[in-house]
């Protein structure tokens, strides 16, 4: 018995040593990765609602100076991400001791004052060997103190007006220790035509948090999430990016978030999730309206029989509501 215990302890010790070794190697050899979860019900108001509880929290890990990280009160930060079929969402919690917003009078470029940038490289299959931006790579900026501005220097920038029309929103609130930033960016402004936004998609992603603390000086440092090279290079080198993977959505997500279903209804729907044909029963002589979560009507029929079959193959992946005479059922289109 004792020998057995001794043997097991030895095995565990060896495993620990090996495990630690592999962890160190992994940090050097593999790019940083994160998961972006399918979450609905986020409102861009610089307030972290309960929906964000499900999101992965990431830390800004590296400083562009290459040296040790600065004092956390000078600049430090965490962020969360989420996605749905139309948007990618961000919530940044940033510590910054002196806020230098961009103003017209400052005479500075937007990237020189306090700001956050996000970078996307949506197609990982076409990257240039030297890391120079492919047409699907993009750099976008949120400026502290400038809520209607979203600039980009490089990549597939479609212009801030296009983004505003497509629903780009962000809001910043000062916290006393820095600021929080909540944002949503429409996929339509990020993704190339050939990339489908769906569960399992992996793409290049990076964040940089630029910090200026003196109106007379330039930005004095940048914190990054993935780039551990010590050089401020993400704006021109996609090899500095990490990888983000979309998880959830397309049936894996609990459709119980947001609008409540009617519990006491005779209506039954199957299968759920559905690919092509959705059977709806308990609906004789009633009007059936299918809406998306934004309330837009996507299909409508009058049910002559007690059971009808709807061809939903043409609907985009996501969660939909079946409205029958005020009763609501949800289904997920794969």
Q: Enumerate binding residues for Ca ion (CB under 5 A).
A: 43, 45, 47, 49, 74-75, 96-98, 114, 121, 123, 126-127, 134, 136, 182, 211, 213
Is the CB of 114 or the CB of 237 nearer to Ca ion? 114
Residues with Cβ within 8 Å of 140's Cβ and at least 6 positions away in sequence, in order, are 117, 118, 119, 120, 150, 151, 152, 157, 185
- State in angstroms the smallest separation of the CB of 307 from Ca ion: 41
- Give every CB contact of residue 98 below 8 A, 6+ residues apart in sequence: 213, 214
How, if at all, do strands 62-63 and 221-224 pair?
antiparallel
Residue 23, Cβ neighbours under 10 Å: how many?
9
Whole-angstrom distance, CA of residue 7 vs CA of residue 305: 71
Strands 57-59 and 115-121: unpaired
Minimal distance in Å, beta carbon 281 to Ca ion? Answer: 38
In the complex with Ca ion, the residue whose CB is nearer, 98 or 299, is 98
Please report how close the Cβ of residue 59 comes to Ca ion at its closest, in angstroms. 17
Q: Which is nearer to Ca ion, 136 or 169 (CB)?
A: 136
Closest approach of Ca ion to the CB of residue 52, in Å: 7
Q: Which C-beta is closer to Ca ion: that of 21 or that of 217?
A: 217
The residue (of 198 and 261) whose beta carbon lies closer to Ca ion is: 198
Provide φ and ψ at 83, rounded to 5°: -140, 155
DSSP states along 195-227 = ----TT-EEEEEEEEEE---TTS---EEEESS-
Nearest to Ca ion of 121, 151 (CB atom) = 121
Closest contact distance (angstroms) between CB of 250 and Ca ion is 23
Which CB sits closer to Ca ion, 174 or 199?
Answer: 174
Cα dihedral sign, 323-324-326-331: negative
Pick the closest to residue 85 from 38, 35, 24, 147 (CA basis).
38
CB of 186 to Ca ion, least distance (A): 17
Closest CB to Ca ion among residues 195, 298:
195
The residue behind tokens 């992965």 is 56
Cα separations (Å) of 303 from 264, 284, 315?
A: 20, 6, 20
Residue 130 token pair: 């030297």
For residue 328, what is the enclosing H or E element?
Answer: strand 327-333
What's the CA gap between 72 and 102, in Å, rounded?
A: 22
Give the shortest CB-314-to-Ca ion separation in angstroms: 30
- Nearest distance in Å: CB 70, Ca ion: 7
Q: Which residue is nearest to Ca ion (CB)?
A: 134
């Amino acid at each position: 018995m004792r020998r057995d215990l001794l043997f097991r302890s030895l095995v565990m010790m060896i495993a620990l040593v090996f495990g630690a070794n592999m962890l160190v190697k992994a940090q050097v050899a593999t790019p940083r990765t994160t998961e972006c979860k399918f979450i609905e019900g986020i409102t861009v108001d610089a307030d972290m609602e309960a929906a964000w509880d499900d999101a992965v929290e990431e830390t800004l890990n590296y400083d562009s100076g290459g040296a040790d990280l600065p004092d956390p009160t000078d600049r430090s930060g965490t962020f969360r991400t989420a996605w749905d079929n139309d948007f990618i969402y961000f919530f940044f919690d940033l510590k910054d001791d002196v806020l230098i917003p961009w103003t017209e009078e400052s005479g500075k470029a937007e990237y020189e004052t306090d700001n956050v940038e996000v970078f996307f490289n949506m197609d990982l299959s076409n990257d240039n060997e030297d890391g120079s931006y492919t047409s699907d790579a993009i750099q976008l900026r949120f400026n502290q103190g400038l809520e209607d501005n979203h600039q980009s220097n490089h990549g597939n920038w479609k212009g801030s007006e296009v983004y505003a029309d497509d629903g780009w929103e962000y809001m910043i609130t000062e916290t006393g220790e820095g600021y929080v930033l909540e944002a949503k960016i429409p996929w339509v402004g990020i993704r190339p035509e050939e990339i489908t936004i769906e569960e399992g998609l992996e793409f290049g992603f990076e964040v940089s948090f630029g910090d200026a603390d003196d109106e007379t000086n330039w930005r004095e440092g940048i914190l990054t999430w993935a780039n551990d090279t010590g050089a401020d290079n993400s704006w021109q080198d996609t090899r500095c990016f990490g990888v983000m993977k979309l998880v959830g959505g397309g049936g894996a997500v609990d459709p119980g978030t947001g609008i409540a279903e009617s519990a006491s209804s005779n209506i039954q729907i199957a299968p759920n999730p559905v690919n092509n044909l959705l059977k709806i029963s308990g609906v004789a002589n009633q009007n059936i309206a299918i809406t998306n979560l934004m309330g837009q009507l996507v299909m409508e029929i009058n049910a002559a029989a007690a059971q009808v079959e709807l061809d939903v193959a043409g609907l985009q992946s996501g969660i939909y509501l079946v409205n029958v005479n005020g009763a609501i059922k949800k289904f997920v289109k794969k």
